[in-house]
Amino acid sequence: MTGALLAWVKRSLRDLPWRNTRDPWAILISEVMLQQTQVNRVEPKYLEFLKRWPTPQCLANDDLAELLKFWVGLGFPRRARNLHAAARQISGCHQGTMPDSLEDLLRLPGVGPYTARAVMIFAFEADIGVVDTNVGRLLARWSGDSLRPQLAQQIADGIVPKGDSWLWTQGMFDFGSTICTKRKPKCQICPVKNFCAWQGIGSDPAFQSAGVTRKQSRFEGSDRQARGLLLRALASSSLALQDAPSVMGLQGESARAEKLVRDLQREGLLNLKNDLLLLGNSLE
């Protein structure tokens, strides 16, 4: 199976900007941006980000508010807040140099097992595996079983070809997004079909398997939408507290609006000064 998949990868690997670097900072940025955000939305923002903040020190020296303004359109602003905190930790604890061990990466704010492993593979070419939604789907279908997280990680680590972790992992991502897709997988042209226990027949073992993305709740009318509308407005200018409900589309729901504002304050994404809402944390 390994040889067949690697041969496919060498013919089919997509050209993406974060695949042209081994800079761990740039790779961290790409991985954070790509969490639950489509590739075509990330590409231009990724390149713009690195022009503005090419090193952890550059971001650490800037205000969180500036990063939050930049982040509009990428969604999930907690990622930006965590990234800013990580940059400050890298600058303060690692002399501005990205950590090169899994343990130290996992200590960075907002960096979990997947992101830490991705940096280790794509920057330092460590012979370890990662489990994201595409990889989780592949592993479940190949094995024919819905996998628990620990077993999925063990399998992912065990099938990495030594010395080829970078190419193998990028290939797994592309294979899952173009061939072994969530819906209508192209089993008829799959180069590793003979090694797949499922082969598109019967119930999909990837359903609810480790790493496989669950369906998100409805966005329209959600708290996520309301929060995003407020942060987008604050990226342009400050806002009177009394205007927050209308900006969030919550006219007549003042209690809900007040709760969301408090939540955003607690998360360090906005602050209140003289009845004005502003982006960022006033304690920076």
C-beta separation of 78 from 269 below 8 A: yes
Please name the residues in contact with 70: beta carbons below 8 A apart, sequence gap of 6 or more: 45, 48, 49, 52, 80
Q: What is the three-class DSSP state of 273? A: strand
Rounded Cα distance, 230 and 253, in Å: 15
Within a 13 Å sphere around the CA of 98, how many CA atoms are in the beta-carbon half?
20
| Region for residue 210 given its phi and psi (left: phi exceeds 0; alpha: psi -120 to 50; beta: otherwise) | beta
The reply to whether 31 belongs to the active site is yes
Backbone phi, then psi, for 233, in 5-degree steps? -65, -40
Contact 204, 197 (CB under 8 A): no
Helix, strand, coil tally for the chain in percent (to 5):
55, 5, 40
Which of the residues are catalytic?
Answer: 31
